[in-house]
Amino acid sequence: MFLRSRAGLRRTAIIAALSVGLITPMAGVAAAGPGKPGTGKSVAAAAGLRSYLVITAPNDTSGAKSAVSTNGGTVYASYDAIGVIVAHSTATDFASKMRSVSGVQQVGASRTSDVPAASSNPAIPTSPSQTTPTANETSRVDMTQIGADKAWEVTTGSSNVLVGVIDTGVDDQHYDLKANFDASKSVSCAYGKVDARTGSWRPVGDHGTHVAGTIAAAKNGKGMVGVAPSVRVASIRVAEPTTQLFFPENVVCGFMYAGDNGFAVTNNSYWTDPWWANCPNNVDQAAIMEAVKRAADYATGKGVLNVVAAGNENTDLDNKSTDTLSPDDSTPSSRPVTASCKIVPGELESSLTVGSITSSNAKSSFSNFANKVNVAAPGDNVYSTMPGGNYGQMSGTSMATPHVAGVAALIKSVNPSATVDQIKAKIAEQADDLACGSDSRCKGTTAKNTFYGEGRVDALAAVQGGTPPQPGGPWENTDDVQIADNGAAATSTVTIDGRTGNAPAATKVDVNIVHTYVGDLELNLIAPDGTSYSLRRANPGDGSANLTTQFTVDLSSEVANGGWKLSVRDTATYDTGYINSWKVTF
């Protein structure tokens, strides 16, 4: 469940000028009683299809996958590198049978409700209709509070740095996000496996779009600006439609995808459903903890820093006693818990865990606290992007966390070779100390305590002393160039300078061509050394007029500096037009 704050409610958000309905248990879902610490019992499956995590040694899943079928199940997804299988079954004894299979270390139900029928053929979320902002960017207190406005004088970030928003999905067409959004790296992990179809990453709620804006909304003079307004951001949607829940198999998929696809940072403003705290002496919850831990550690080992929200229950996580929120996919009930029962991924060792502060640098009323809290950031009434070109305020550790993710992205921008541990250390070293004050619940010193960790994140201090990133453009030519009707190719040149080394693997080429029949057009990008990269082939069946689009091109084998040409050839007669403008962005 995502972590935005509304007093007294598990769904945690205050949204200015917006209304949000509460998620209620789905009609017809059997209410399964929560497993209690000390019993070691699993949640009994109902008659419907249930999801299980089958855990083996890493890279030793073949025998267990065969046994899944033998014991009345199917393999929905498998993450062999970490030894985690997502299995579905309607058999009530599936888990107990699988626990006796040689090589199987743990088996646990990942839900207390049935797997939605949509898991077999997930729908693509609708792309929100868009409005264009008219208000100018203003100096916002959350950005000045962490020194982001001053950090931008050092760097606004590098497009070589990719940040993943593991959340409810992101509106990739939002005015303030589309320039930095990387659709080629965006997917859905809802139900537990990667769905890379175009648009699968789009929002099923507001939360992820709001988070994305705080990280990387463009510095374009309108709307708002994120902490790292020149880095790339991608959506890894793990929330399922209707419920907006973040089940463990979805989270595992998200971390694994980030680890395998070149992400530098992920933002994780949620706890893994259906259990607020997962207890090691409950077989289901122990499997959830192990699976999510392995996936998060896998991403970390691949160079991904996972920045995670501490949560909004105003609870001392080092002294947990009661969980009244779980299981949130069926019927929650009160159960005893202890400090050994962990919120994941927030209490994982590999996570950089973030608490929330107000604009006056006090602990936010909702923010959890613990020795695990690494740093703090503004989380009250944060203004950011909303789907459809909109904007709004939300509160929660969900809103604090992307400030830190943005700072991490800035650090990676000025220190491209920095490791996960080095980025974490830099954030901690440069954080501004915040004292406990008079609140006796806060333990520790001014330098490090359970409310604020190492202190308030400091964007300016974190990026000082690094090497500013190379210019990323855009480099643009706005001169009109006529396109001959069924004749020689028209060319337009942009000259790139000030770079060292080769162009990026995800170079963006934007074209704006005015033409009465775009199906006639063939487009190529010509590198300084004469190598031609095909952007678009003629398509006689496309009778539309005008071409305004963006291409992503792997130019990593090409020296960046020099004259780049857009070549446009009209391959048929009767229709005419011209190159209006085009640009290259690294």
Given pLDDT bands bounded at 50, 70 and 90, which one contains residue 47?
Answer: low
Under a CB-based contact definition with an 8 Å cutoff, are residues 428 and 353 in contact? no
User: What pLDDT is recorded for position 295?
Assistant: 98
Residue scoring higher pLDDT (469 or 17): 469
User: What pLDDT is recorded for position 66?
Assistant: 98
- If you average pLDDT over residues 74-81, what whole number do you get? 98
User: What pLDDT is recorded for position 33?
Assistant: 29
Under a CB-based contact definition with an 8 Å cutoff, are residues 192 and 160 in contact? no
**What is the tens place of the pLDDT at every residue in 248-293?**
999 999 999 999 999 999 999 999 999 999 999 999 999 999 999 9
- If you average pLDDT over residues 29-53, what whole number do you get? 50
Under a CB-based contact definition with an 8 Å cutoff, are residues 551 and 508 in contact? yes
pTM of the model: 0.79
Angstrom CA distances, 456 to 428, 453, 459, 462, stand at 9, 8, 10, 12
Angstrom CA distances, 551 to 220, 349, 566, stand at 21, 40, 12
User: What pLDDT is recorded for position 25?
Assistant: 27
Could you give all domains of the chain from N- to C-terminal order, each with its CATH number? Answer: 50-111 (3.30.70), 141-463 (3.40.50.200), 475-585 (2.60.120.260)
User: What pLDDT is recorded for position 3?
Assistant: 66
- Give the residue numbers annotated as catalytic, written as ranges: 167, 207, 398
**What is the tens place of the pLDDT at every residue in 261-271?**
999 999 999 99
- If you average pLDDT over residues 375-394, what whole number do you get? 98
Q: Which amino acid is at 433?
A: D
**What is the tens place of the pLDDT at every residue in 483-511?**
999 999 999 999 998 888 899 888 999 99
Mean pLDDT value across the chain: 91
User: What pLDDT is recorded for position 467?
Assistant: 64
Q: Is the pLDDT of residue 447 over 90?
A: yes
Angstrom CA distances, 474 to 121, 137, 155, 478, 496, stand at 39, 20, 16, 12, 9
Q: Is the pLDDT of residue 329 over 70?
A: yes
- CA distance linking residue 261 with residue 459, whole number of Å: 26
- CA distance linking residue 576 with residue 514, whole number of Å: 9
User: What pLDDT is recorded for position 28?
Assistant: 27
Name the percent of the chain lying above pLDDT 90.
88
Q: Give phi and psi for 41, each to the nearest 5.
A: -90, 150
